[in-house]
Amino acid sequence: MELVDLGYDGWFQQKARRSVPPECTLARVTRVDRDRYLVRNERVELPAEPTGKLLFSAATGEDLPCVGDWVFVQYHNEGTLAIIHDVLPRKTFLRRKSAGEKAEYQMIAANLDAAFIMQSCDLNFNLRRMERYLVVVNEGHVEPVIILSKCDLLDPEGLEKRIAELRLSRIEGRIIALSNKTGVGREAVREILRPGKTYCLIGSSGVGKTTLLNDLLGREMFETAAVREKDGRGRHTTARRQLSMLDNGALLIDTPGMRELGLMGVGETVDESFSEIHLLSKRCRFGDCSHLSEPGCAILEAVKSGDLPEERYQSYLKLIKESAFHEMSYVERRKKEKHFGRMVKSAMKELKKWKPSSS
Ligand SMILES: Nc1nc2c(ncn2[C@@H]2O[C@H](COP(=O)(O)OP(=O)(O)OP(=O)(O)O)[C@@H](O)[C@H]2O)c(=O)[nH]1
Ligand SMILES: [Mg+2]
Ligand SMILES: [Zn+2]
């Protein structure tokens, strides 16, 4: 096997040339389990540990190696342990806000060619959540592919309706209806997977990410578990992020189901995910329009005239609010939260006056 088979290309080569630590060679991180790592080189997959220097110089979790990263390693103990000295810059990435008050990120995976955002057709289906995932994927410059899994649980009309709902929310890109049970959609997924390219499965616990991976591998390599009967929620079966190589040479990363996708978009990303609103905003009378109450606000006018679905406007506000907050300190945030909440409330009230039919 060569490094190109593991996804290495000219982009990384150029980055690597700049900064090779002495006596180091390249490997790719294939598993992260808390502070334990596996890396893979041309020959083997083996355990790895970051140097103390790398650990202690990491300002945030983002600076630590994550699955999919290219790293510089030195081999020890007769080649049975790799010591990670440095992480190459990331071409693309997925990251989420860490728990806690500080505005910090946690890496999910790096150097992906596409991300499969999976939602199941049952109770898990949720447009707002989909929008959040898309923001995260866009922000990391990763191409999204939406998978609606467990489509065997829904009749064809129901499925059409869900897809229409996604499209109505201006969610573009590929949508694949998949059933791991009947095999519907599996070929469509397979067709996307290219040798030497890296893909990642993300989505709530229990939607069938690992089941799909096992199917593609052709064997029950990783554990799966039934969802809870009472609410259809998953049991957080997958505990670590793991990269596997499929028979055709594609690289697929399975991730643990995320509880709540902390979002830390920059304004730009929100604009990308809400491109039609972003376009409208250029026609607002004031350059710094908050789109809440200003006269001449093109966005509010579009909502009033019905050109822009009110739902869509609300999720835009929600995202803007969240992303703006992350750039503030905690105390600032607490203050603004109240203020912003009041402004949204009064803007909504205004709209109701204009459009009594909408709710
Ligand atoms: N009906 C139906 N059930 C499915 C399908 N795909 C997966 N399941 C079932 O859903 C349950 C959860 O599947 P997993 O593959 O473990 O889900 P996961 O997304 O990996 O969940 P976490 O690892 O917890 O994040 C299992 O009981 C699967 O058999 C499907 O297409 N249709
Ligand atoms: Mg799993
Ligand atoms: Zn405006």
Q: Is any ligand 1 atom within 6 A of the Cβ of residue 150?
A: yes
Residues 272, 217 contacting (CB under 8 angstroms): no
What's the mean per-residue pLDDT of the chain? 85
CA distance 272 to 276: 9
Residues 201, 255 contacting (CB under 8 angstroms): yes
- Of the residues 122, 205, 224, 258, which should be mutated to test ligand 1's pocket, given the most ligand atoms within 8 Å of the CB? 224
User: Quick check: 308 pLDDT over 80?
Assistant: yes
Residues 147, 114 contacting (CB under 8 angstroms): no
Phi then psi for residue 306, to 5 deg, are 90, 0
DSSP letter at 67?
Answer: T
User: Quick check: 336 pLDDT over 90?
Assistant: no
- pLDDT for position 2: 95
Query: Structure tokens of 183?
Result: 């095999």
Q: Is any ligand 1 atom within 6 A of the Cβ of residue 228?
A: no
Q: How many CB atoms lie within 10 A of CB 235?
A: 13
* Ligand with minimal distance to 317 CA: 3
CA of 108 to the centre of ligand 1 (A): 20
**Banded pLDDT at 282 (limits 50, 70, 90):** confident
User: Quick check: 132 pLDDT over 60?
Assistant: yes
Contacts of residue 344, defined as CB under 8 A and 6 or more positions apart, other chains included, come to: 292, 317, 321
* Ligand with minimal distance to 292 CA: 3
Query: Structure tokens of 314?
Result: 């609300």
Q: Is any ligand 1 atom within 6 A of the Cβ of residue 120?
A: no
Among residues 118, 173, 186, 189, which one has the least CA distance to residue 148? 118
**Tens digits of residue pLDDT in 220-257:** 889 898 888 767 778 788 888 999 999 999 999 999 88
- Of the residues 122, 180, 260, which should be mutated to test ligand 1's pocket, given the most ligand atoms within 8 Å of the CB? 180
Q: Is any ligand 1 atom within 6 A of the Cβ of residue 283?
A: no
Query: Structure tokens of 174?
Result: 């590929």
**Banded pLDDT at 172 (limits 50, 70, 90):** confident
**Banded pLDDT at 359 (limits 50, 70, 90):** very low
Tokens 């949720």, residue?
126
- pLDDT for position 265: 40
* Ligand with minimal distance to 297 CA: 3
- pLDDT for position 356: 53
**Tens digits of residue pLDDT in 27-77:** 999 999 877 899 999 999 999 999 989 988 888 888 999 999 999 999 999
User: Quick check: 293 pLDDT over 80?
Assistant: yes
Q: Is any ligand 1 atom within 6 A of the Cβ of residue 204?
A: no
User: Quick check: 259 pLDDT over 70?
Assistant: no
Residues found in the chain: 359
CA distance 344 to 329: 21
**Tens digits of residue pLDDT in 144-158:** 999 999 999 999 999
In percent, the amount of the chain with pLDDT more than 70 equals 86
Q: Is any ligand 1 atom within 6 A of the Cβ of residue 153?
A: yes
CA of 302 to the centre of ligand 3 (A): 10
Average pLDDT score over residue span 127-141:
88
- pLDDT for position 191: 97
Average pLDDT score over residue span 77-90:
94
- pLDDT for position 240: 87
**Banded pLDDT at 264 (limits 50, 70, 90):** very low
Q: Is any ligand 1 atom within 6 A of the Cβ of residue 209?
A: yes
- Give the nearest ligand 1 atom to 180 CA: 31
Q: Is any ligand 1 atom within 6 A of the Cβ of residue 261?
A: no
